[in-house]
A and B are shown apart, each in its own frame.
Chain A
């Protein structure tokens, strides 16, 4: 007899038995050992038909192709720029992918991106040995000037972005700040000093309460209280999604996970 031993959205720890028997299938974050399916990490259960998956709740960002991320320039060499990706691996931004401008041989590369600069870039390749290439060529990819960078858990990024970018749009609308959310957990905020802080506090609130029901409503109320102005939500939810890069495709992935995770 097969038996499912966990409920939907249950927190499980490594080694916990999730199901017995062969009727269920081990999904991402789980593994099969004989008759049993076990948790292969700490996570939240998500049951998709017969498949049991685990949604990570913690851990460092794992670079994935097509992710739009915020990186910091940490080195410059003959072939381009090395950038920190807020993961275990740095990435290479080649001269060819760095700019469409013609770069003369021996030119000073810092005039494009200097050490310490932050950029919104897209991952174009990740090898099995975790060599990573990023590009600046694409809509929404650009250098970030001014403002502040904050670090959040990369697993909360889908909730910060919201369905079709609704959450981040609402925050932008309420505060008038520019906000870019990188899939790697770095967020760039720029605007009035008090408003920047309000964006940061709002994002921290989302991080803390992301597992609770009615998140959007609560964040809306919070923003309305803090700014003293009513928010027209219908407007913000229709606003075009524009997180880091604003690529609808990367949204699709994040939003889907957001749906799974949400209540």
Chain B
């Protein structure tokens, strides 16, 4: 992205327009959630936002709890930027981009308290459920953050516990029991280019971004996680406006989960 092209994007935004004809605060269409795309995971969901496609899968294991939290299970989030999904992604161990993506997904779910970790305890100090959520990218056309968070949550909604008899896990059989989820956290990333804010950036727009703020909100508007990215600092006024946008757009995105 050269200065010229970035300036072009900014000039368009000044008249409330984007390269692809969207308004600054429009998501691409369709926003689609398809639960249960794979039979091998305990839960799964594929999310499409425009041409961006990500898959999330949930696997469950029985493990020992952390010594300082003997009565709690936990979640573990992973994310892979598959080289199949973008010519710029490389094979190999996860880079910082993938790690940040996984951490943002993790925080949105963990801090929403949608899963009560105490309820994942099977036998205090000995056996707890570990919920392993993995997000992988299938086609990166921009805004992996929001697509991944949405897919991860939808996969949790879709998940059922495998059979466990107190000693052995039987992955071949589902117990039919769902994971109890009490909240719906929803992540929206608001991007700042020049003095303008946009949501759901394309890969071209992502290259022009000065700053971004990913905000996870609950249904009642409570904020549960945030992450600022990009090289340019934000003013408190920016943050306030970005949070308002994220809350508002979160309501819209919520519809896709129903």
Contact = CB atoms under 8 A, between A and B. Distances in A.
Q: Do chains A and B touch in the complex (CB under 8 A)?
A: yes
Interface of A: 114-118, 145-149, 193-194, 197
Given A147-B8, A193-B12, A116 B1 contact: yes
B51 to A, nearest CB: 13
B251 interface: no
B195 to A, nearest CB: 18
A149 B9 CA distance: 12
6 contacts: A116-B4, A146-B4, A148-B19, A149-B5, A193-B11, A197-B19
Interface of B: 1-5, 7-8, 11-12, 15, 17, 19-21
Contacts of A194: 17, 21
A193 B2 contact: no
Q: Which 4 A-B pairs have the closest CB atoms?
A: A116-B2, A197-B21, A193-B17, A193-B12
Nearest to B9: A148
Contacts of A115: 2
A149 B4 CA distance: 11
Contacts of B21: 194, 197
A13 B134 CA distance: 37
Contacts of A114: 2
A145 B4 contact: yes
A148 B2 contact: no
Given A193-B11, A193-B15, 17 more contacts: A115-B2, A116-B1, A116-B2, A116-B4, A117-B2, A117-B4, A118-B2, A146-B4, A146-B8, A147-B8, A148-B8, A148-B19, A149-B5, A193-B12, A193-B17, A194-B17, A197-B19
A116 B7 CA distance: 13
A145 B4 CA distance: 7
A205 to B, nearest CB: 14
B196 to A, nearest CB: 14
Q: For B1, B11, B12, which residue has the most chain A Cβ atoms within 10 angstroms?
A: B12
Contacts of B17: 193-194
B162 to A, nearest CB: 42
Contacts, number: 28
B19 A116 contact: no
A183 B94 CA distance: 37
Contacts of A147: 8
A17 to B, nearest CB: 32
Contacts of B12: 193
Nearest to A117: B2
A118 B19 CA distance: 18
Given A197-B20, A197-B21, A148 B5 contact: yes
A193 B12 CA distance: 7
Nearest to B1: A116
Q: For B11, B15, B19, which residue has the most chain A Cβ atoms within 10 angstroms?
A: B19
A197 B12 CA distance: 11
Nearest to A145: B4
A146 B11 CA distance: 11
Contacts of B19: 148, 197
A114 B5 CA distance: 13
B193 to A, nearest CB: 15
A147 B7 CA distance: 10
Contacts of B5: 116, 148-149
Q: For A115, A145, A194, which residue has the most chain B Cβ atoms within 10 angstroms?
A: A194
A197 B3 CA distance: 20
A142 B95 CA distance: 39
Nearest to A114: B2
A148 B17 CA distance: 14
A115 B1 CA distance: 10
A72 to B, nearest CB: 8
B207 to A, nearest CB: 10
Nearest to B6: A116
Nearest to A72: B2
A253 B88 CA distance: 33
Contacts of A148: 5, 8, 19
A59 to B, nearest CB: 15
B91 to A, nearest CB: 19
Contacts of B1: 116
A194 B12 CA distance: 10
A119 B219 CA distance: 50
Contacts of B20: 197
